[in-house]
Amino acid sequence: MICVRGIRIPLKGHRRLDGNLAHELPLATERALALLRLDEGQTRRTTILRRSIDARKPRGPGRAADPNVVIEFTCGVELKDPRAERAVVNRLGNPRVALAAPDAFAWPERAARPLPHRPVVVGAGCAGLFCALALAHAGLAPLLVEQGDDCARRTAAVRAFAQGGPLDPLSNVQFGLGGAGTFSDGKLSTGTRDASHRLILEALHAAGAPERILVDSHPHVGSDLLPGIVERLVAAIGELGGEVRVRTRMTGLGLERGRVASVELERDGTSEAIAASTVILATGHSARDVFELLAGLGVPLEQKPFAVGVRVEHLQATVDADRYGRWAGHPALGAASYRAAWKASGGRRCFTFCMCPGGQVMAAASEPHGVVTNGASETARDGANANAALLVNVLPEDLDSPDPLAGIAWQRRLERAAYEAGGGDFAAPAQLVGDFLRGTPSTGPGSVRPTYPRGVSWGAIDGLFPAYVTDTLREALGALPRTLPFFGEDDAVLTAPESRSSSPVRIPRTDALMHPNVAGLYPVGEGAGWAGGIMSAAADGIRAARAIVASLG
Ligand SMILES: Cc1cc2nc3c(=O)[nH]c(=O)nc-3n(C[C@H](O)[C@H](O)[C@H](O)COP(=O)(O)OP(=O)(O)OC[C@H]3O[C@@H](n4cnc5c(N)ncnc54)[C@H](O)[C@@H]3O)c2cc1C
């Protein structure tokens, strides 16, 4: 296949650019063939391989002007005579034209020999699911255990909690089949590079994610589709010889002479210990009991930097108008997103994270007496508000103890303080940006209605955080309107706290991905401090599976 990059088509004057790939393909193909100096009769098939939006505004004084929006495509062109493709590429000598490299990354081959016991993957989040899928492909018949419910029961529990019902500490936005990813926004963009990314996207597509995740430069699934996708991934693990048990919690780990010997599992109040030589710990950053369990066993853990802050909500229409000018609402663009970062005078960083266009602020608690916010959107991204986390980094030296678990205690204190400040029924403390900047408590919303489902308690959020967090947030909120004017909206809402964006603990591991002090223990994913986000957690799970298969020769 010939790959033609950099096909840039301005939105202006091209009505066929409407976000529908079937409508856009002929336009992109026309440009690709013109560049290749070929006609359609010579081709067997053309495809869009990648689509991105360039909506940069002119620099300098014209900055406030409308952007010259361009849709940029990479096209794949297959010729009727595939042997002629190389000649076409060589004849042109254009750096934008190349033969598509075959994607060499695949699921692991069958393992050379079995393990002494089947591998146990603990935690069915992105890391655990993809690790189990890869181990199953290798014929190692993994057992995947998840403390929370299957997606149907979990969806009911999450919905009931959002509507004011009780919190199920084992089945909520953080815990249950699919992990934190199931009720996530499902943005699949990542700052990491890994050869497995294409494989992960294809597996998600095969499990029901829209085809355009294979093409979009910022792929997005949406929280309405994710539970079905997770159930289909689980079914695939079963079909390949693995076993998945829900409502099954790892409560103990047996260690003998520096290696894993067993795991203790609990289901419906009944415990069983099973012999195990390979345990993949994919329990996520919210499994605080697992960190405590490891610390209690004397397994070395480390502190690591993390970040806390607030969810900020604006009207999506304001964000669209700022980003896209007169093109706001154009079907080729969808709801606009943004990213921002600010280095405060004291050197601390403030940055947006997990921006959810047309989304909703989530009630993401997993412990009683603790409020946690996060954000998500549905596939259509058609909610009235845009939300994003606005975070400040917290460093190990900010903590009051060298204990590896000090960061968890710090997060928990923040979440409990927010619970108290919110009135004790999972309402979240909230303040308008204008009031926050002026240092005045808020009494109610303005034009932006907060979407946090358990309700908000208006007031001041300063008291929840140490001064270095609020000072940095204030400085950033004062500066960001220079590049993103809507950040200057007085009525934007800050809902607190966003405390679970990353793990405050790292579980060390060697190049073979095993804990240096516990043979057979593979810490993976976000909780172990080796990933952040859906794609990197899934890639880390696959990496661990490959390391296990490689260890078998
Ligand atoms: C609302 C929300 C929106 C998000 N949006 C995005 C997004 O758009 N894009 C993105 O890239 N990331 C997003 N994230 C983050 C993303 O979901 C995580 O990075 C990812 O899920 C981490 O995967 P993981 O497998 O490492 O851990 P988790 O997903 O946390 O999975 C860990 C699993 O282990 C289970 N477990 C814990 N302890 C035990 C035990 N003792 N026994 C058995 N099971 C156990 C837990 O119940 C859980 O299901 C979002 C998160 C949330 C909450």
CATH number of the domain enclosing 267: 3.50.50.60
Query: Is 247 a member of any domain?
Result: yes
For residue 61, what pLDDT is reported? Answer: 60
Query: Is 295 a member of any domain?
Result: yes
Cα distances (angstroms) measured from residue 166 to each of 221, 366, 367, 495: 28, 11, 11, 21
How are strands ordered across the β-sheet holding 521-523? 243-245, 143-145, 120-122, 279-281, 521-523
Please, are residues 181 and 128 in contact by the beta-carbon 8 Å criterion?
no
Same domain, 144 and 201: yes
Q: Give 534 Cα–ligand 1 centroid separation in angstroms.
A: 8
What confidence tens digit (pLDDT) does each residue in 92-145 have? 999 999 998 877 789 999 999 999 999 999 999 999 999 999 999 999 999 999
How far is 382 from 317, CA to CA, in rounded Å?
10
Q: Give 422 Cα–ligand 1 centroid separation in angstroms.
A: 25
For residue 14, what pLDDT is reported? Answer: 86
How far is 112 from 374, CA to CA, in rounded Å?
43
Same domain, 89 and 124: no
Give bridge partners of residue 495 from the DSSP assignment.
311, 430
DSSP classification of residue 67: P
Task: Determine the distance from the C-alpha atom of residue 513 to the mean position of all C-alpha atoms in its chain, rounded to a whole number.
Answer: 22
Same domain, 189 and 331: no
Instruction: Look up residue 396 and give its two tokens.
Output: 């190990």
How far is 53 from 217, CA to CA, in rounded Å?
8
Query: Is 61 a member of any domain?
Result: yes
Query: Is 223 a member of any domain?
Result: yes
Q: Give 178 Cα–ligand 1 centroid separation in angstroms.
A: 7
For residue 52, what pLDDT is reported? Answer: 96
Which among 121, 147, 172 is the best mutation to test ligand 1's pocket, defined by most ligand atoms within 8 Å of the CB? 147
Which residue range(s) make up the domain with 233?
120-301+507-551
Same domain, 281 and 314: no
Same domain, 444 and 411: yes
Query: Phi and psi (nearest 5°) for 134?
Result: -70, -40
For residue 105, what pLDDT is reported? Answer: 84
Please, are residues 307 and 502 in contact by the beta-carbon 8 Å criterion?
yes
Low-confidence spans in the chain with pLDDT less than 50: none
Same domain, 18 and 153: no
Q: Ligand 1: which atom is nearest the Cα of residue 183? A: 1
Residues with CB under 6 A from ligand 1: 122-128, 145-148, 173-176, 179-181, 183-187, 249-250, 282-284, 286-287, 290, 354, 362, 364, 374, 376, 525-527, 531-535, 537
How far is 291 from 404, CA to CA, in rounded Å?
9
Same domain, 275 and 324: no
Q: Which CATH number is 67's domain given?
A: 3.30.70.2700
Same domain, 149 and 275: yes
Q: Give 250 Cα–ligand 1 centroid separation in angstroms.
A: 16
Same domain, 295 and 307: no
For residue 103, what pLDDT is reported? Answer: 72
| Run of H or E including 449 | none
How many structural domains are present in the chain? 3
Q: Give 400 Cα–ligand 1 centroid separation in angstroms.
A: 27
Amino acid present at 123: G
Instruction: Look up residue 495 and give its two tokens.
Output: 């809902």
Query: Is 114 a member of any domain?
Result: no
Nearest CA to ligand 1 atom 48: 179
H-helix segments, 64-139: 84-92, 126-137
Query: Is 107 a member of any domain?
Result: no
Nearest CA to 229 out of 205, 207, 245 is that of 207
Give burial (CB, 10 Å; 0-12/13-18/19+) of 103: exposed
Query: Is 110 a member of any domain?
Result: no
Same domain, 511 and 486: no
DSSP classification of residue 291: H
Q: Ligand 1: which atom is nearest the Cα of residue 174? A: 53
Query: Phi and psi (nearest 5°) for 48?
Result: -90, 120
Nearest CA to ligand 1 atom 15: 533
Query: Is 288 a member of any domain?
Result: yes
Same domain, 6 and 88: yes
Nearest CA to ligand 1 atom 53: 180
Domain end marker among 68, 99, 130: 99
DSSP 135-171: HHHTT---EEE-SS--HHHHHHHHHHHHTT----TTS
Give burial (CB, 10 Å; 0-12/13-18/19+) of 305: middle
Same domain, 67 and 179: no
Cα distances (angstroms) measured from residue 414 to each of 4, 461, 477: 51, 11, 21
Please, are residues 520 and 109 in contact by the beta-carbon 8 Å criterion?
no
For residue 193, what pLDDT is reported? Answer: 83
